[in-house]
Structure formats: C-alpha cells, structure tokens
Chains A and B, each alone.
Chain A
C-alpha cells in the first residue's frame, strides 16, 4: 500500500513536470495586459472590480491576452509586478496608490514593459528620467463626490447625512471634501457625520458604523471604503435609508436603496490608459480624469433613484465644474460652510 501511494505521488509529480509544455504553447502576437491588485482584491463590487471590467473589455473587444493577480500582503506587490514582467506582459497595471513604491522599483528594472498605476502619480522629473515607461492615472473624486453631496442634501429629510471612509489618507479625503462641499452648497445647516473605519475590506465594520450613523438620524449615507462600504449599503437597506455607492455603479447591490453612485471610471482609465501606453510614441505622464474628461460622474439614469429636481440640480453643478467655473476643494480642511454657500 505504501509503495503504491509513493508511485501515485511520483506519477502526479511527473505529470506536473512534463505536461506544462502543452499548457503554455505560444499565442499569436496580441498585446498582453495584466493587473496587480492590492490587498483589497477582487469582489469589492467597486474599485478593483471596475479595473477588472476594463481589463475584460480589452480582452473581449480587442482580443488582448490578459492576466491578473491578487496580492496577499504589501510585500507581494514587488514580486507580483516582477513576475508579470518576466512572464512577458506588455502593459502591467497597479491598481491603487499602495503600489506606488513597488512600481517605482520594478519599472526601472523592466524598461521595455509599460506600467500604469491607478490613483497615483510621479513627479515630472521621474517621468523624464527613471520612469519613462510609466503612466499615472488620477481621478478628481472630489468633483464626483460634490455631485453626490448635492443629491444627498436634496434628498435628506432629517437634515443629517453620513460619510464613511476606508482609511484616512489623501485620496479618500478627496471624497470627503467634495461630498461635504456639495452638501453644504445646498444647505450649510445639514449635519454631516464622518467615520473612517480603518479598513477597506471589512463589511462588518461598515455596517456597524452605518448603524450608528442611522441611530444619530442620518438618512443618506455615502462611502469611499471599498468592500467595507458593502456593509454600509446592507445596513441602509435593512433600515430603509438611502445609500450612495462609489467607484462603480452599485445600483445592483441594493436597487431600492442605492440613491446613485459616484462613478469613477477606473475601467475607462485602464482601457484608455492601456491603448495610450501601447502607442509607439508614448510619453510618461499623469493622466487626470475629472468631470470634464468624463472620468468621474453620476450613475446612468436607469440606476438613479434621486428625484428629478435633485438630479437636475446635480447636473447643473456638473456643467459648472466641468466648465471650470467652480473649483471643488480637494482637502476637507479647505471646506467651510461659508466658502461653498451660494
């Protein structure tokens, strides 16, 4: 019996050694694009999933060869980027500012490979010297969040709204700043409850934080907290208050609860950015996507639960911002009730 199990093991190992050749036969020459996700990973129905949608569009619409890997720990960013570069991918994306350092290190080692990063940027000096193969993509989340603030303020009946952030870092604070400015542009007397949960992947915490906000009378809540936000939507659905989604259209998560979603077209960023990097005369730079560039915005009409008046008001502001007539503050500290009052 023992001998035969050894033989079975040997057989399995043998197969593993011999057969891979078949699995890795050469493909026709199509651009190869891959994504390294941060520790948040797929399944957040938000930011990371939106990037995945962009990747799938490249595969389905253009027939590109695509791949991806979800990192387990922050130490994995570097080896995962390296691994994909060695696998021969032409364009490799890092999704999230957490990969900023890792891309800086790996991009130098693989100058023939193009690297894109969502939500981060490098200095022009770096683009000109060490990072000539890198594209940074930033979104003006504060502009989109401003519109959500307008919708929330027009919808609340209790004059209390809530904001849930993942971790308190500048990219997330932009959501907070825009949202607050938007709310107070409608009515500076509205109370805004803010809570940073400290996690992007903890729906239970999101739920608990939202429960507490609802107890304090909030009836519209907005999040910039990835998977944590799913808990916020769940809580809102259970208790019959409005939730505002983020990053991707979260209407389908709870169709009667999600008022609207601040859509950050990460998929557009990945898709357009990839095409840009594949151009032969690509120059490293930062691509900034705001309302004017349609990089952020409201969810499509069929996903909108806000009243026509509220929606009209938000669209009015959107035009103004896109046209540069109004500049949305980027930092919460810049938002004051007086500044935004019109």
Chain B
C-alpha cells in the first residue's frame, strides 16, 4: 500500500443540498488526499450520489465550499469539473454502443485531418498510448456493444483519464461486474493509485470497501458519520456506522426442521435463448421448511433453471413437481396459481413494471382475480389498500402507493417484489439473486423474510452468485457448473474453499452419475 501524501487534493466542507421535502446533504464534509483510494460508503439514498454530483457540477450546493489543491473553486457544470481534473465514471455508462472503443474515447475531441475528417489512426495511437501508460489493456477497434461490461467500464475510466482526470469518481463500479471483473477492477485501481491518481470509490458493499480502500467516509441520511482508515476498522463497525444500529451481517437462524419432500426436479433439460443446452439433466429436491441454495458462477444455467421452474422457459425434457402435482412447462400464471412464487433475478427486466406505480406493481400477479378486479373491472380502492398494507408491513420507503417504482431506490424496489411474492401465501419460493444491488440493511431484511418463510414450513430455493449469501441462507447447497449440478452438500459441510472448487468444476460430487455415464 502506497502511503498517501498528506496534502488534501480535495476538500468539501459543510456541503448542504436541499431538494423539495428532502435534505439530501446536511453539512457534509469530505477530504481526499492525493494518491488515496477513498471509499464513500452509505445506504442507497444516503446522499453519496448527491455529494458526488455536486462535486461534478451536476448539482449546485445550497451552501458549503469545495477546495481543489487548497484552492477555493466554484464548479457550476461538468466542464468546470473536467478542467479541474475531476473525472466521473457513472453507474450507467455514457457510451455509444454502435461506436468502437476509439470512436467513443475521442468523441467530442476527435483529431481532425485537413480540419474536417476524423483522423482515426491518430486517434487510435493516442488511445493506445494512454491505455499503455495506465496499464488498461483494451481492443481499440472493438465495438462497445461487443465487449463485456467490465471492458466498457474500463473504456469509461480511460475516457476520464484522457480528459486529464486526477481525481477519479467511480460510482458503484462493482454493481455491474462479475467477481472476476471486480478483482480486475481492483488491480486497475491499485495501479492508478501507484501512478498518483486519487480515487473516490462509491459503494455500499462492506467487503469491497475494506479490501480496496485506504480511507472510508460513511454517510447516513445526508450526514457525515465519520471517516476511518480501513486498516483500523472492520465490516461490523462500518455496517453499524452505515445503518445506525447493529446489523446482522449473517441473519441468525435456528437449524432447519425439514419436513417431507415438497418440490422435486427430475432429470431436467432446458435450452437457452440460442437453443443450446443450458440445463442438462438436473435433479434436485427441496423439503418443506428447508432452504436450498444453488451456487455457481454466473452463466452456468442457474437463470435457465429458475425460469424453467417458474414457467418462463420451456424445458425439453424432465419433470418438475410440487407436492406431487406436475408443474412441467405450465405457463407462468399456472405455476403461480400452484402456489409457487418467484423473485426474479432481474428486477428491472422481469420483477417490476418500473413505470407502473407501487400499487400497480403490487397486483402485477393477481390483478385479474377478486378482490382486485371483478368482471374485468379493476377495484382501485382495494388495490391501493393492499399496497398500503404491504408498504407498511415490508417497510417500503415511498411517499405513497401512487409513486412510480422507477423513482424508488433499488432496495425499495426489491422490497416491493418481495412483498408482492411473499404475501401470496406460497408453498414454494424461488428467489433468484434476491439481494443483488442492495445495501446491508436491506439484505438483512430480505434474508430475515426468507428464513421466516422457511420457519413457517415453506420450501425455499435460492439462487445466488454471492457465496456469502448462499452460506448465510442455505440448509443445503447445490452447485451448478455447465448446466449440471456437480454436488449437493449440507451447510455444515460447506466451506468457501470447497464450494469454490466445485463452482470451478474441479471437484465433482456426482461421481456416481459420471461413473454411470449418465450426464458426464
């Protein structure tokens, strides 16, 4: 770890920003030293983004000062920020998918030939020089739409660097990345730090924050709670600072008291969108009062399996049953009516109609049935009543039930889905990535609810890419690799190492199958 120099490159003092009805930043202080990776930690909606948007000139603070290199600056728009060497990588990339990496990087400052035509060779040279300087390898001629999210992020970082950024703001950069990409990003960040860049790392993931940053500043409800050196704190303290109370990072639960086998998959085969086999001969069962976790690296057939179970994708062969009733290839509505609920992996794509209000989303599954509608006519009073009840019960932070879901934070959106699905009195719960993108407080809440459902005798199947989550929730753990279940082990036997090896396909507990030449 490079020891940061002592001069602050950035000092934000007494920043206050008020939106109608909300105090987003209340006298916030933030100090960044040169050559430092400084994490800005806080729950969704705590005011991190507002603070950074003020720094970047997207908002104007109502009061407070910003000093860059000890000099008082007035940042009125992003151009001012760029001139001061502040670069920002937004959560949603600002790239043109049809353009190549080079074209995106020189956009707005294209080298011209004859004052008119873009000089692509010159541009490519320039880009390669910068990418080499910072050790950020890229393919300059690839189109953005053809490269991975991690690479796209790298292009965004390069873009900021090419515009002369010394202070790099990374807004939740790991939210969209796979674990491998996260470790690559961390290497890049460390490299940049060694080259003297200062990085503000916005996150709500405690482990990442302690892993990469030198300093952590915690913001809660618009206020600075404190700044601590990463080396002098731990995740529990940070979680407490962030949420304002003690948080169970691992929700306490009693040992499972599993009952009879309730849900069963036999030798299931499911194709993916390109009609290639994604799930190959999976057999799995879940007992009443039990949580089975499905672990695996992303893209090993988990999504297709979850979708096949819930009627969103057709299986080519095999059988799915719940309490003996055949659910194979029933429509999504039929599956739902068989008391199977589904917290989908992608809440924006599947779980919610973002432009619908909270109330409209609450009845997304049940709008066609009494009491929410009769003879095709919706009963809005009943629907809103139900929405208010669930908002209360599941602690959804929203001004009211008429607000569009798109204006809620990710955690509250997820709560709407969970409220809707769990309130259906299900027998069987399929929860895919139930806490993706949520902060610790919300994660605790979701885990609590799933465990409560288990304790009420429901069968629960959890799909997660986060080993922590799998270990925290599951009573039994199934590991998927290349469309197969390579092993099912009890929670007590599971360690991160063991699961990691299984997820990588190194260890296969299904030797029996292999020996029989079954799925090989």
Q: Do chains A and B touch in the complex (CB under 8 A)?
A: no
A interface residues (Cβ-Cβ under 8 A, vs B): none
